[in-house]
Structure 1
Amino acid sequence: MSINQNPNAILVKIYQICESLLKPNKDKIALQRIQDDLNRYYSLFISQMNADWEYCTPIQKLIEISQSICHSSDYSDEMLWDDNLVNKLAVLYNQEYSPKEHQDKISKSEKKNTQSLENYLTALITSYARLLFVRVDLKYCSDANVSIEQFTQDMNQLRKLVIEKKHCFKHLRGHVWAIEQSSKTGSYHCHLLLIYDGNKKNKGWYAASQVGEKWGEITGNKGCYYNCHDDERIDRFKQLDSLGIGMIHRDHVVQVLNAIKAAKYLTKPDKYDQHPLVKLKGMRTFGHGNINKRITKKPVAKL
């Protein structure tokens, strides 16, 4: 597929331009590469912009500065980036955009999510004697060209089944999800943690496989998945005494701590290159279930 027909691939190119603008000691060769990339991809990017989309800060700042130096918010396919415009863009971008502020904003949000996640899992674990923690990563096949709208539709369909506890989500007691987008390929993926009643389900690999197959159905076979319960991976974590998936017993302190620690990967603050480059306005990229307040909670094992 030509890059001209793949909005995600063009988005990645624009993000790479943002990164190039921030590199120190930009010589004439570096600026020429930026100019070439702008002339090759920027008009394509502008032509595919959507009022319902929300861009990440680096790209949004590039759009704003470009509009200001060109004195127009309307770009034509004939727009030409010359030496003068590229130099102005490079100077203003480094003056007006702060990577640290952007990263701090992401970190603050993820730390808030981490605390919410820890509270949720602690309350859930104290409610059941044993729970089956199942991890599966949902993504798309390498040749799939999936828009943010299609991804959102697929995810909504999946979450509906999760909430209704239908099909492979029967006996589900809790769930956590985190949406990401690769800044290298532009592909969307979802890290999913499913927490089942340990008295009803006890095979993590099989449960994850069922979810992966359901994802394939939802996406019309465009979707694929990674089963985190691979034997080799499980053995490696067991040897390190850090396995945080599979059967987790409430009165087993190490299992509980490992489960919470492993789950925190979904809200890891420093995964800046996985933060969505674009999302629908108001779209959430992280969430978890709610605790049933009718459940009689029992204390978790003390440290």
Structure 2
Amino acid sequence: TCEQKEGLLDVNNNQIFRLKHEPGLYLRYDVVMRNGEPGEFFREHFSADELYILEFNIAAFFVELIMMILVIVVSVKLADIQMFHSTYKIFLSSVVFFFASIIVTCSAYLSYASFGYENSGLKNLGTGMYAISQILMVLMLLLLSLGYTVVCGRLPHWGAICLSVFMTSFSIAYIALYIVEAVTFDAALVLYRYESSPGYGLMAVILACWLFYVGCSIFTMSKHKKKVVFYTPMLVFYSLWFIAIPITVAVNINQVPDYMRAKVVNFIEVISLFLAHLFYLILTWPSLANKNFPFHIRTTQ
């Protein structure tokens, strides 16, 4: 009402302060922006695109913990029968880095949920560990496609050169990707880290690795017919895995809304690498009933 407006402007009601000092007032204040009611641990501080990431990663932690225990058990069994080859050591390292990335990412989001402050250092460390895990997985697949530790104990010279080029390109693309994201991305915008030149370059490297993997696997199968039972399911599954990476990136860029992008990306990345580890664990399970078991060359030979 008019009376309320006049009362608000009345100096006698102490609503308006007359400033006697020319500089005016210096105010310092904190603004807490919430996406949920105070006390809602999984909602309060998270934006719409981050909802459910923490819950999903906590569940992934327990699932991956079981995975890592199983891989360690298999590693011990392989060591006992002198078949703990370098390719399986690379696989074990990939699983360890993936598990560590989940722990670090959970820690970052738990800190964010508790205090409302984003720990970008922890998040970057988690994504970096995930990248290392993925690189190690690709390296192992390329080595196996060349028959290393399955049908031969040494790499051909051309194969070693190709692997060096692929892994160097992979690493440089990932490093450039995170540098560009940290330096140029606006925090106010919801951007996908692959929406950059290094991101497109990384997808090109992955596709090149896939072509190399397919070609070498087919060549190895043609030379060693007894290993077809191992290479055929591996070739089919991991070809789909290689192709799925750029496809999901393209879908996330063009189809997934901004308010869903972060959680969708997190879900896909965690599930895809977990399935890659799970399939290889099953494929190489040291059991007489497993006809796909690839190793027959002992580490002492």
TM-score computed with the length of structure 1 as normaliser: 0.25
Larger helix share, 1 or 2:
2
Question: Relative contact order (alpha carbons < 8 A, sep ≥ 6): 1 or 2 greater?
Answer: 1
Larger strand share, 1 or 2:
1
TM-score computed with the length of structure 2 as normaliser: 0.25
